[in-house]
Amino acid sequence: MIRELKLEDKELYLKMAHDFYRSPAVLYSIPDSYIERTFEECMKSDTYVKIYILEHEEKPAGYGMLAKTFSQEAGGYVCWLEELYILEQYRSKGLGSEFFRYVEKNREEGVTRFRLEVEEDNTRARELYKRMGYKSLDYCQMTKEF
């Protein structure tokens, strides 16, 4: 089951996000204060970020996060699939596929594209994304931190 994050999920989410950012799925860890800031933003509004809890047999099994931007190139809103984290014991049970189907089916009006990033060597995740219809882009991404 997929459901939206609730206030009472705070400690659960903070722990899972902390663990995600210390896993091989990401290039570098982030301060826990960033994770807390994301939770607070999600509780204020779903304008920019939406977090979901994934459950398996009524137990928390992971989380997924969407962030929204506008893209002229896409002709509308783009949902960035920012994070998908599934606890080890719940992997390969179809939760990732269920999450993608859920967010695509329930996308907001005006969303014309879903986009995500994945580490090159995260083959398990890359295979899931390919099965769900995602294609690689030949982009070089650049960032500037403040």
Residue ranges, the chain, pLDDT below 70: none
Q: Does residue 136 lie in a domain region? A: no
User: Could you tell me the residue range of the domain that residue 19 belongs to?
Assistant: 2-131
Q: Where residue 62 sits, what CATH number does that domain have? A: 3.40.630.30
- pLDDT at residue 17, as a whole number: 97
Quick one: pLDDT at residue 119?
A: 84
Per-residue pLDDT at 118? 86
- pLDDT, tens only, 75-95: 999 999 999 999 999 999 999
Q: Is residue 15 part of a domain?
A: yes
pLDDT at 121: 84
Tokens of 9: 């999920």
Task: Output DSSP code: residue 90.
Answer: G
Q: Which residues of 99-126 are buried (b: 16+ CB within 10 A; e: fewer)?
A: bbebbeeebeeebeebebebeeeeeebe
How many structural domains does the chain have?
1
Domain membership of residue 48 (yes or no) is: yes
Asked whether residue 95 is assigned to any structural domain, the reply reads yes
Looking at residue 54, its pLDDT comes to: 98
